[in-house]
Amino acid sequence: MTLLKLFLDSADPEKIRRALDFYPLDGVTTNPTILSRQNTELLPLLKELRKITEGKLLFVQVTADKSDDMVREAHLIADRLGGDLCIKIPATEEGLRAIKILSRDGISTTATAVYSVSQAILAAAAGADYVAPYMSHIDNLCLDSAQVAGDMAKLFREHYPKTNVLAASFRVAEQINRAVLCGVGAVTVAPEMLPVMIGNRGTEAELESFEKNWSSVYGDKSVGDLI
């Protein structure tokens, strides 16, 4: 049995700090859009993210579009940041070549912006550690993203046991539940999704009822005050 990995999709240091404090997270994923939202100098930001995520996995994406340049960028990122890193490489022809080379170099990779099982097969065969289907974008093509991601997961279990599906780009909690139930090995969620996942009106109502019943007997004293 392998445990599901849960990552945070963010480059916002404050949000990451808080999420890592409160939630059971295995690391942080970023991409060029997420990093550019911080609108700040890149290297200090990446170093801060590296520090905050020490001991956990940090995903950083290359922006080059030619395989040799992607490989150079990947090595540079690894040299500058160190630690437990996974380099995200777009699922393109150039990206596949980069994944093959980086896999031989012993650098962990994620094939990203993946839409199809065919792309997933090639990325896994090239040596990617993760393949990241963009769930909401796949759903917007009127395909069933959970089914697509579940097919990838099944395929990897049978043929590429080293590769995990890292499902990304969720808009609603039910998409996450379905992806996990369909067998993906990892999900990455935006900070805003975490309270949506844990929050429940039923739980809130139960807490109100506990509070009412308790205070009718013990007033404002807590368990800690009374034992």
**Is the CB of 33 or the CB of 216 nearer to ligand G3P?**
33
Pairing mode of beta strands 85-90, 130-133: unpaired
Q: Catalytic annotation on 88?
A: yes
Cβ contacts of 59 within 8 Å, gap of 6 or more:
7, 27, 28, 29, 30, 85, 86, 87, 88, 110, 188
Nearest of 169, 63, 34 to residue 114 by alpha carbon: 169
10 is a site residue for ligand G3P (CB under 6 A): no
Cβ contacts of 52 within 8 Å, gap of 6 or more:
13, 16, 17, 20, 28
Number of residues that bind ligand G3P (CB under 6 A): 10
Minimum separation from the CB atom of position 111 to ligand G3P (A): 12
The CB density around residue 188, as the number of other CB atoms within 10 Å, is 28
Contact 64, 89 (CB under 8 A): no
29 is a site residue for ligand G3P (CB under 6 A): yes
**Is the CB of 165 or the CB of 168 nearer to ligand G3P?**
168
Q: Which of 88, 100, 162, 212 is catalytic?
A: 88
Q: In this chain, which of 36, 63, 118, 136 binds ligand G3P, going by CB under 6 A?
A: 136
Q: In this chain, which of 6, 8, 27, 31 binds ligand G3P, going by CB under 6 A?
A: 31
188 is a site residue for ligand G3P (CB under 6 A): yes
Q: Which stretch binds ligand G3P (CB under 6 A): 31-39, 92-100, 143-151, 157-165?
A: 31-39
**Residues that bind ligand G3P in the complex, under the rule CB under 6 A:** 9, 29, 31, 33-34, 134, 136, 168-169, 188
